Structure 1
């Protein structure tokens, strides 16, 4: 079992002086981050897909074994809502996948985060995933894929069956804002921590982290866990991710 633990993003002004020493320049932050973690979830790609040259730059800077998870553009998940109704969305998907491929061995997973307002539509989901995975195969690379549902109507065996068909991980998300389930639908799993109380701005206790460490380690059938902390306020994500790394390494 491989356990990759990191944070959702690495550039936050409020991490200066708490995680990043003041002397670390902006262009040096990724290098510093990689000295502490083996993975990061790229949130910026949700709003704007980085240029091909940026992905190449990250590939060249990445340390051996470090991987990026890329969050798919909100144009696809929130504006088009997975509907393949015109050439624009298809071309955007192809453009994103071509750019992301430049990460090479440093690409871990692609995350699809759906909006809370999007209710279950398994026919739409399967049609989208069939096209999406087909485009990836055309480009001849094989990233892990995960999808985070934020409406409770998706939490059913029909949805899980579609994910299993395409080996796509159901995201186990932890927050007080959105529903969750501890479900495994692929050889890999994906966990997102949004904060135990206040969204993005609350700290998990050591006891809570111990529970999650045990949960992860119990599921030895899962080949790889991607685990990201999105509670970036006050640097809580750094504290919690480091604690979970410590606990899983001790037990492992």
Structure 2
């Protein structure tokens, strides 16, 4: 059975989207619900910078319809450290802050590493062993976003595959576009939207992303997020991809 393709943006609070994506007069507290009505996922950045309350996750879950999912970016205290193998306490704090309150709205956890972080096979293996498979009875899926060219290495891909972690495919000018092995789901961060293009990417580029997503959905769920670049165009890009996938 084919996986589900979910398409989204980064977060939902961004002032320039008001009057462009969000209709004039929409209350800020209703913006997440609006995202839920028009897109199928969002990537949460707030969890990278600080711990959230269980009630916050519960409220997010209530605001969106069935099938919508939140990809949660892991805390920087887990990934921005010299020795990754010493992140156990930070990882435990992150996964136990209340993300289980999202229930079936919980998508993958995104573990994002600094562009200066280089691949060290032993340290990275130690880090991956710390990633839990479940929390509070809820299964966890992990996606690894690495930004240094040293990770373009069969040893890294093998480590990720062995623990069932997806390797994030990044469309970016500066980061390597690494394609991982099939682990049952895939994760794309599309970061080259342009302001002079109404849908961020051209129609031909959107069609190419749709083709890539369809191909990968044969192996499991697909998550595609329009992030960064000309951020004001991200919702239009996401909506265009959803249309192209129909």
Q: Residue 53 of structure 1 aligns with which residue?
A: 55
Query: Structure 1 pair 222/81, CA: closer, same or farther in 2 (3 Å)?
Result: farther
**Residue of structure 2 in register with 1:37 after alignment:** 39
Q: Distance in 2 between matches of 1:187 and 1:230?
A: 23
Shift in Å at residue 240 of structure 1?
Answer: 1.0
Q: Which residue of 1 aligns with 2:103?
A: 104
Which position in structure 1 is the counterpart of 2:204? Answer: 207
Within-5 A mapping of 1:225-244: 225-231=222-228, 233=230, 235-244=232-241
Instruction: Confirm or deny: 8 A CA contact 2:194 2:229 kept in the other structure.
Output: no
Looking at structure 2, the residues matched to 67 and 130 of structure 1 have their Cα atoms a distance apart, in angstroms, of 25
Is the Cα–Cα contact under 8 Å of residues 8 and 230 in structure 1 kept in the other structure?
yes
What is the aligned partner in structure 2 of residue 153 from structure 1? 150
The number of equivalent residue pairs is 240
Q: Which residue of 2 aligns with 1:165?
A: 162
Cα separation, partners in 2 of 1:122 and 1:33, compared to 1, 3 Å? same
Per-residue Cα deviation, 1:22-75 (whole angstroms, up to 9, x for no partner):
211111111111110111000111111212221121123231111100000111
Q: Which runs of 5+ in 1 are unaligned?
A: none
CA distance in 1, matches of 2:43, 2:231: 18
- Superposed displacement of residue 153, structure 1: 0.5
Unaligned runs of 5+ in 2: none
Any conservation in 2 of the 1:232–1:238 contact (CA below 8 Å)?
Answer: no
3-state DSSP class of the match of 2:107? Answer: strand
- Find the aligned partners of 1:126 and 1:95 in 2 and give their Cα distance: 20
**Equivalent residue for 2:77?**
75
State the TM-score, normalizing by the size of structure 1: 0.88
Q: CA deviation at 1:248?
A: 1.4
Answer yes or no: is the 8 Å Cα contact 2:216–2:222 preserved in 1. no
TM-score, normalising length from structure 2? Answer: 0.90
Indicate how the Cα distance of structure 1 residues 234 and 38 shifts in structure 2: closer, same or farther if over 3 A, else same: closer
